[in-house]
Structure 1
Amino acid sequence: MREIGIEELVIGDCLSKDVYNDLGNIILSQGTEITKRHIDYFKKHSIDYVYLDEMDSEAPILSNYELQTFNDLYANMIDIYKTLYFQIKAKHYEFDAMTLLDEIKPLVDHVLMDNDVLQCLRHVEVAEEYYIKHAVNVSVLSAITAKWMNMDSETVYTVALAGLLHDIGKALVDHNILFKPDQLSAYEMSNMKEHSKFGYEVIKNNPTVPREVLAAVLFHHERSDGNGYPSGLTEEQTPFLARIIAVADVFDAITSDRVYKEKVSSFKAFSIIKDESFRGLDPRVCEVFLSNIATFFVNNRVKLNDGRIGDVVYINKYALNRPLVRVNNEFVDLSMDYSVDIDDVL
């Protein structure tokens, strides 16, 4: 919460404290979104300042140097994971997980320092297959989620390692199934679902892999309602690291282009994750992930579903995926107009 002068108010700002008149009566309650009518009223009645939520503050824009540093670290991790992936594909299962952990720490540290993981990933210049990039993306998304959940640094790094290895079993899935551009048959889907077991088999006898990582690799597709795989575990039965990776896995999968499906915007992904928190994904992890991810939406240039281009200027904490967008000199409040949606982040 911060105090702000009336002259600095922007349409769409959200009050974090009730506003009273001279008689002590509430004229605007906490949570009200500011309109032009409200600003005119404040000026007319000599109300000089109000208190706003911090959510309206702008997310930092990373410098070209910071983005390039991320790209370099990301490209290095892509090479390392790709080498491991094809090593596993060739049935050579011996590797040092602690060396792998040391190699990913610089990338994780860079993301944890800058925090705006969406901006970093959006500016990745590395051309590589989805299944390779996905492992690195889930690693950093899982790590930053662990940080947001106030886990200690050792656990954050363990989560990063688990995220990197979560789909390593796909190296043993039939190539034709993995890259099939059409919908999978029931048999093919059954084979694809074996990848978590395959990954477990690959690393279960490796003494350098922490047990928490082993469990996360095996159970990252379990769901709270018991409809996941391979064991149909409920939320309480699923290891917590697996639940963190599940959220990062789903978010990256639906915001990435794949052979059979185009990506959706991070705003649409936000809605999907929120819906899934009521069914299969851990609601506590989802809440932490979404509330923090939402802070990075400010400053995004977006394309609306009616073709207009604008900039996200404000995030309403009561409708995190329905921001206020400035289009030229006009403000479009998506939390009020559900006929307008965000098609893409530019």
Structure 2
Amino acid sequence: MGKKCVLVSECKIGDIIAQKIVSKYGATIAVENTVINNYIIKKLATFETKYIWIYSIDKDELPKIDKTSFSDVKKNYKTNIIEINQVVNDLCKGKKVEVNKIDKISNSIYKNINDEYYIVKCLSELRDSEEYVYTHSVNVSFYGMLLSKWLCLTKKDINQIVVAGLLHDIGNVKVPIEILNKKGKVDVEEFDEIKKHPIYGYNMVKDTSIVSDVVKEVILMHHERMNSTGYPLGKDGDELSIYCKIIAVVDAYDAITSDRTYRKRRTPFEAFEILKNNSMEYFDIHVMDTFLENIAACYVGSKVLLTNDEEGEILYVPPHCITNPVVSIGERYIDLSKESDIKVKAML
């Protein structure tokens, strides 16, 4: 399939959007691979969008999303988990890690930078609570890369974020496994031990030249918060780099939306609510808003189970109300912002 730019007035039901659509105010209206329906057309008119890019489909070709690209992203993701596992284990044993090993993983992640739809779909589908330490690191690296792109950082800065995401939690391998895998709530002493993982991680890399000072700082301070309530140093927002602020946001998001030994994952929309409620105190507001606005739009097209036990597909995520998307069920549209008794129960 090729791409072509068309007037919104010429769009047809079933056309597939080929490039993310952003309003004149900077709000994401729809992401790549969204299938156009009546609801999307009305939203484009509301935002006074004149032109969009759609896929140009041959006469005898059925509209479809590129399955090969998604398969490639999944394959790379699984390979990255295996390889970061080896790197972390080598660091834990005090072995010298070759810089090209980390470069290989980070380059593999970076090459997917323009596939944000596939990245979010992949990270939503592939979860393993038993391998949380490693899957979480790869997830944070991907999310951090996307957020850095949305913040318009340089390629050099984005590469630093990718590596920081991969290594930010390496100190967890020094925390007793029975604490990390405890199925119930940890007690005060156990949590105090968990809170040492940034220091453990920093000590693992502080004397190695293959990890930059920027990444070392993220390993040490990704749990610091804007209001000085974080750990291990109690730094405030003015003392945190943009790298620390980015990893803090995506680390929290992935933790909320991942299965853990002691609780089930929350839906992205529950995570949006949790993060919005805490963003002013704990996180940089600009970094958080940029992440939430853009990541929310990436769930358009996702299959969901609602609390009324109906299954549907997300048609649209209102920029002003990202916690309550519009869902299609057959020929019906349900605007969850107008249905107080219905929420997204699970992603399918």
* TMscore range, shorter length: 0.7 to 0.9
Q: Which amino acid aligns with 1:66?
A: S
Out of 338, 341, 345, the position equivalent to 1:343 is 345
**CA distance in 2 between partners of 1:291 and 1:192 (Å):** 31
- Conservation of the 8 A alpha-carbon contact between 1:315 and 1:324: yes
* Residues 60-99 of structure 1: pairs in structure 2 closer than 5 A: 62-89=65-92, 91-97=93-99, 99=101
Deviation of residue 6 (structure 1)?
Answer: 11
Give the whole-Å Cα distance in 2 for the aligned partners of 1:255 and 1:127. 11
- Counterpart for residue 239 of structure 1: 241
State the partner residue of 1:115: 116
Work out the percentage of aligned pairs sharing the same amino acid.
Answer: 28
Shift of 1:270: 1.5
- Tell me the equivalent position of 1:145: 147
Provide the C-alpha distance between the structure 1 equivalents of 2:53 and 2:200, rounded to a whole number of angstroms: 44
Q: Is the contact made by 1:3 and 1:52 (CA closer than 8 Å) also made in structure 2?
A: no
Q: How does 1:145-224 map to 2 (within 5 A)?
A: 145-224=147-226
Deviation at 1:138, TM superposition (A): 0.5
Following TM superposition, by how much is the alpha carbon of 1:83 offset from its aligned partner in structure 2, in angstroms? Answer: 1.1
- Counterpart in 1 of 2:30? none
Aligned-residue offset at 1:140: 0.8
Distance verdict in 2 for CA 1:127–1:59, change over 3 Å:
farther
Is the 1:142–1:159 contact (alpha carbons within 8 Å) kept by the matching residues of 2? yes
When normalised by structure 2's length, the TM-score is: 0.81
SS, match of residue 92 in structure 1: coil
1:58, distance to aligned residue in structure 2 (A): 11
Q: Does 1:271 align with 2:283?
A: no
Shift in alpha-carbon separation, 1:58–1:260, aligned structure 2, 3 A:
farther
CA separation in 1, counterparts of 2:197 and 2:287?
24
CA separation in 1, counterparts of 2:82 and 2:192?
A: 30
Q: Are residues 174 and 141 of structure 1, via their aligned partners in 2, closer, same or farther at CA, if it must alter by over 3 Å?
A: same
SS of the aligned residue for 1:320 comes to: coil
Q: Deviations over 1:175-195 (max 9, x none)?
A: 111111111111110001100
- 1:319 match: secondary structure: coil
The Cα of 1:206 is off from its aligned counterpart by 0.4
Q: Which SS does the other structure have where 1:150 is aligned?
A: coil
Distance 1:126 1:193 in 2: 23
Could you report, residue by residue, the CA deviation over 1:282-331 in whole angstroms, capped at 9, with x for unpaired residues?
A: 11111111111121121111111111111111221211221111122222
SS at structure 2 position matched to 1:67: helix
1:331 aligns with 2:333: yes
1:121 to 1:184, Cα distance in 2 relative to 1, 3 A: same
1:169–1:198 contact (8 Å) kept in structure 2? yes
1:104 alignment counterpart: 106
**Residue type of the alignment partner of 1:249:** D
Q: Which moved more, 1:164-173 or 1:62-71?
A: 62-71
Aligned counterparts of 1:186 and 1:50: Cα–Cα separation in 2 = 54
Aligned length: 305
Greater Cα offset, 294-303 or 80-89: 80-89
In structure 2, what residue type is equivalent to 1:114? D
Q: 2:292 is matched with which residue: 290, 293, 313?
A: 290
Bigger-Rg structure (1/2): 1
- Following superposition, the deviation at residue 337 of structure 1 comes to 2.1
| Alpha-carbon shift at residue 248 of structure 1 (Å) | 0.8
Question: Contact 2:90–2:97 (CA<8 Å) still a contact in 1?
Answer: no
Q: Which residue does 1:280 correspond to in 2?
A: 282
Of 307, 310, 318, which aligns to 1:308? 310
Mapped to 2, the partners of 1:257 and 1:53 lie a distance apart of 41
Shift of 1:86: 2.2
Once residues 234 and 54 of structure 2 are traced to their aligned partners in structure 1, the CA distance between those partners, rounded to angstroms, is 39
Quote how far apart the aligned CAs of 1:334 are: 1.1
Measured against aligned partners, the alpha-carbon deviations of 1:19-68 in whole angstroms (never above 9, x if no partner) come to xxxxxxxxxxxxxxxxxxxx9xxxxxxxxx955366xx899975221121
Aligned residue among 261, 267, 270 for 1:259: 261
Distance 1:303 1:218, change over 3 A: same
Q: Kindly provide the CA deviation profile for residues 130-167 of structure 1, in whole angstroms up to 9, marking residues without a partner as x.
A: 11110111111111111111111111111000000000
Instruction: For 2:181, give the aligned amino acid.
Output: F
**1:254 offset after TM fit, Å?**
0.9
* TM-score (norm: length of structure 1): 0.81
Partner Cα separation in structure 2 for residue 133 and residue 286 of structure 1: 22
Per the alignment, residue 23 of structure 1 pairs with none
Paired residue type of 1:63: D
In 2, are the aligned partners of 1:6 and 1:50 still within 8 Å (CA)? no
Deviation at 1:99, TM superposition (A): 3.6
Name the CA shift for 1:170/1:93 in 2 (closer, same or farther; >3 Å).
farther
Letter matched to residue 88 of structure 2: Y
| Structure 1 spans left out of the alignment, 5+ residues | 10-15, 18-38, 40-48
